[in-house]
Every structure is written in C-alpha cells, then in structure tokens.
Amino acid sequence: MEKRKIIIDPVTRVEGHGRVTLHLNEQNQLEEARLHIVEFRGFEKFVQGRPYWEAPVLVQRLCGICPVSHHLCAAKAIDQIVGVSDETLTPTGRKMRRMMHFGQVLQSHALHYFYLAAPDLLLGMNSDVASRNVVGLAQMNQELAKKGILLRKFGQEIIKATAGKKIHGISAVPGGIHKNMSDEEIQFFKDGKEVPSIEETIQWCLEVLEHYKTFHLKNQSDILSFDQLESNYLSLIGRDGALELYHGELRCVDKDGRKVIEDMDYLKYLDIYEEEVKEWSYMKFPFLKPLGAQKGWVRVGPLARINTCEYIDTPLAQKELESFRSHNGRMPHGTLLYHWARLIEILHCAEKIQELLDDEDIKGENLITKGTRTNTGIGFIEAPRGTLIHHYDVADDDQITKCNLIVSTTHNNTAMNSSVFQRAKQIWETNPDRGEEFLNEIEVAIRAYDPCLSCATHALGQMPLKVELRDFNDVEIRTFTR
C-alpha cells in the first residue's frame, strides 16, 4: 500500500484560515499531522520605517478579536523606548490599561466559549453542523446563550470605556494612557441599565462555571480521553506565583509542574527563546533554547496559566481554581480542560474589573510619564490565547528598524499539531471511514486552543479549515472541506 494524505480545508469556527493534512504511510497508518497556516500578512516587515509611537495603533490591526492585547503589548514595549516601565507608569495609566486588558480577556473568552466552543460541547461534536453554533445553542438553552452574549458585550463596553472603541482603540500611548474614566462611565457598569452590572456579571460567570462543571462531571471520561498532551506550560506570573494577565515575570513549568525556567525578567527572553521555521506553514515554531527544539515547545493560554500559577488573587476565582484542581489534579494535561480554565479566567477578570471600578485612581488626571529614551522595547502580555511578545528596535531618529511578534497561537503551534495528530490517530485506527467526524473532532482539538491564525501569521482572511489525505508521493487522495 502507498503512503496517503487526508486534507481538511478549511478549519471552521476559529479565527483565521488553516488547513490540516494527515499523512499516511505504506501500512495505511497515520504517520504525521500538520496544521498549515496559509495566510501571510507581513506586519513585522511593514512596520519597519514607521515612527515608534504608531506601533500600538498600527500593529493591533492584525487582529479583530484581541486587538487590545496587541495594542497593550506594543504599548508596553514602546514604554521602554520612552524610558518607562510598568512600575513607573502613573497609577491611572497602569490601572486603565489593566482594566482594558481584563475587558479584552473577558470578551474574547466569552466569544470563544459561547460562540465557538460551547456548540461542540453542549450540542455534541457530531451533531448537525447546520445548528452547531450559537443560534443552535440559544435554541437549546436560551438563558445560557443570552448570558454568554451579554457577558461578551460587558467586556466590549469595558474596552470602549478604556480604549475609546470596542475594536482598535487608541488610548495606550507611549508612557501611559490618554484618557481616564469619568463618574458616568463608571456608573454605566454599576447601575445595570444598559449592560449587566458588574455584580450581575460576576454572578453570571459563576452560573456559567456551575453549568460547565455539571456538564464536565457528566462527560468527564470523554473530555479527558479526548486528548491528553503532556507538555511544558509557559505564562507570565504575578507576585508570589499569582495568576497574572497583564504584567509579571516569565515562568515555565514542565509536565510535572517543575520549573524549567525560573521566574525571570521577560526582557531577557532572547536568552531562552528561539524560533524554528518549517516549509509547510507561515507560522513559526518557537521553543525554549535550554530544552532544544524537540522538547522545548510549550503550551500557553488559560490551561497553561492555571497550571503555572500557585493561586488566584481574587476570592471567587481562587475558589474555582481549588475546585478545578480537586477534580483534575495539580497538573492536568487534558486539552479540553482549556475550556474550564477559560471560564475561571472570565470570573477572575470580572472580579478584577470590579476592584478597579471602585479604585479612585482610574479617575486620576496624571496620565502620562516619560523617562530616558532607549532603542529597544520588549513587551510581554498574557493575551486571551496565551503569552504574547512584541519586540521593537528603534533608531535614534525614532523610526522602527526591527519588529518581532511572537503571538500566543505561535507558541501553541507544536502543541496543536500534536493534538491534531493524537486525535486523528485515534479516529483513524478505530474507523478510518469516518468523514464528517474527522472534521468535527480535529476541529474540536484545534478549537480548544482558541487559535487566532491571523494573529499567528499576522495574516488576512477568513478562517475556515480543510483536511487533506495524501499518499507517500504527496498525491492527494481525499479532501474534507466544509
């Protein structure tokens, strides 16, 4: 028998455009799986020659889902160009940016869970594709879908109040922020008239978590057996090991929770990072130098953050973390656990927003600070999908001479390929004739990471998926598309 290849193209309900190829050997066994990212945008190139202060506004255009993360990560990097660090930002600048980021993570996670992932989980990953979406979810559980939509809206309104617009705001400027929050804007989130109040938002987060946990416990064996991927986990980490989404040190732990990178200043990331390029994808493969390309790949995002942190510094989310760990252990590796972790983070963000809405500093007038001009700026942030890195070199005359972006989805590149392989292998070995189910389950595995392929390649376009089956001569045998 000849080597063959299966193609899934396009992958659906993810952000961006991807394709999966499954390679079969002469014995008709699955040999390799590749998630190809076929978009190319070139932001790193065309930002060169632009003035440094444009970066936070320009680069965020590579994404419509998590532009705030790019906006803030670039702003953190550009802060260094003007001699400012997170520690020297004004309290108003720092807290407004943090609030913006919590709004971003909340809305992005709500979008992913309710619009992209929950239809698979709650309606069944092999249910009718025509109704496996948020509308189908609303038909099944109107109240849950409504809360999901309004939770996302709450996050978007927080972004609008802090960044100026729900998508592609402009408020983070070198050394700070150009707006504070007025009493009216704060009241908007407390009175519950136009959006759920912050108290109601927190309550809904708890209800959604309860709903998920009930589902999880009923389907635990399926969820955990879907894909177990032992990996390293990387994230920023807060003081004393607290979960941190905006600013902190860099921590990496191995599959057993041992620190493989001691908590380090992320400005030194080049000491431990390297990126590999493969000919079949526009997405790079970053890895930790001390561990090498084979073993140095990591997973980032909600599950990684939950696994790297010691605790969560908001009480309700901490309680949920304890519940998560009591069910799944201290270092769980189930890929579908990303969803549970994501819901804990939604709750954490809502609690943090509540704290900040009560903080007088967000109304402060001291918005921007400056320091001594430098030529290199490095920003790290925990974007909804994981650790995001922006690195800029700026000449003395203020033009950007180099830009490197390592986005969350890029970090998860090897992991996504591994998850696709594991899932495809399991299906192929039990029933190779399952066409639609191939698509569904492979997509579910990819979707758990909530990848943004546009961000990852800094690319343009929609994100549908295609699976190709190819023989050992690379001749296409079967293609599954939707």
Partner 1 sequence: MSKIDITVDGVKFSVPENINLVEALSHQGIQVPTLCWYQGMDECLGTCRVCTVKVGGRHSAACTMKTQKDMTIEFDTDELKDLRRGVIELLFVEGNHYCPSCEKSGDCLLQAQAQDMEMTHSRFPYEFNNYDLDFSGKNILLERNRCVHCKRCTELFSDDEGHKVFSFIGKGAETRVVFDHEREKKLSPHKAKEAMDLCPVGAILVKGQGFSKPYGERKYEKEPLWEKK
Q: How far is the CB of 46 from partner 1 (least distance, A)?
A: 11
Q: 199 or 398: whose CB is closer to partner 1?
A: 398
With a CB cutoff of 8 Å and minimum separation 6, the contacts of 55 are: 47, 74, 77, 78, 390, 392, 400, 403
Looking at 51, 124, 192, 329, which residue binds partner 1 (CB under 8 A)? 51
Question: What's the token pair of residue 165?
Answer: 């617009």
Position 49 contacts partner 1 (CB under 8 A) = yes
Q: 53 or 282: whose CB is closer to partner 1?
A: 53
Of the candidates 281, 321, 290, 246, the one whose C-alpha atom is nearest the C-alpha of residue 412 is 281
Q: How far is the CB of 186 from partner 1 (least distance, A)?
A: 16
Range 126-185, binding partner 1 (CB under 8 A): 164-165, 168-171, 173-174, 178-179
Q: From 89-97, 216-224, 325-333, 392-400, give the range in contact with partner 1 by CB under 8 A.
A: 392-400
Looking at 240, 365, 397, 433, which residue binds partner 1 (CB under 8 A)? 397
Position 89 contacts partner 1 (CB under 8 A) = no
Alpha-carbon Rg for the chain, nearest whole angstrom, is 22
Looking at 398, 429, 436, 474, which residue binds partner 1 (CB under 8 A)? 398
Q: Are 456 and 407 in contact (CB under 8 A)?
A: yes
Range 216-275, binding partner 1 (CB under 8 A): none
Q: Are 18 and 7 in contact (CB under 8 A)?
A: no
Q: How far is the CB of 59 from partner 1 (least distance, A)?
A: 9
Q: 49 or 292: whose CB is closer to partner 1?
A: 49
Q: How far is the CB of 61 from partner 1 (least distance, A)?
A: 6
Q: How far, in Å, CA of 265 to CA of 247, rounded?
A: 10
Q: 54 or 322: whose CB is closer to partner 1?
A: 54
Q: How far is the CB of 370 from partner 1 (least distance, A)?
A: 9
Looking at 399, 435, 474, 475, which residue binds partner 1 (CB under 8 A)? 399
Phi, psi of 130 (to 5 degrees): -65, -30
Q: From 205-213, 297-305, 380-388, 390-398, give the range in contact with partner 1 by CB under 8 A.
A: 390-398
Position 363 contacts partner 1 (CB under 8 A) = no
Size of the site for partner 1 (CB under 8 A): 23
Position 103 contacts partner 1 (CB under 8 A) = no
Q: Is the dihedral of CA 20, 465, 438, 333 positive or negative?
A: positive
Q: How far is the CB of 79 from partner 1 (least distance, A)?
A: 12
Q: How far is the CB of 179 from partner 1 (least distance, A)?
A: 4
Q: 39 or 79: whose CB is closer to partner 1?
A: 79
Q: How far is the CB of 191 from partner 1 (least distance, A)?
A: 21
Q: 171 or 318: whose CB is closer to partner 1?
A: 171
Q: 165 or 218: whose CB is closer to partner 1?
A: 165
With a CB cutoff of 8 Å and minimum separation 6, the contacts of 193 are: none
Q: 54 or 271: whose CB is closer to partner 1?
A: 54
Q: Are 412 and 300 in contact (CB under 8 A)?
A: yes
198's enclosing H/E stretch is: helix 198-218
Position 53 contacts partner 1 (CB under 8 A) = yes
Q: How far is the CB of 374 from partner 1 (least distance, A)?
A: 13
Position 57 contacts partner 1 (CB under 8 A) = yes
Q: How far, in Å, CA of 419 to CA of 408, rounded?
A: 16
Position 58 contacts partner 1 (CB under 8 A) = yes
Q: 164 or 461: whose CB is closer to partner 1?
A: 164
Q: Using the 8-state DSSP alphabet, how is residue 193 labeled?
A: S
Residues that bind partner 1 (CB under 8 A): 49-51, 53-54, 57-58, 61, 82, 164-165, 168-171, 173-174, 178-179, 395, 397-399
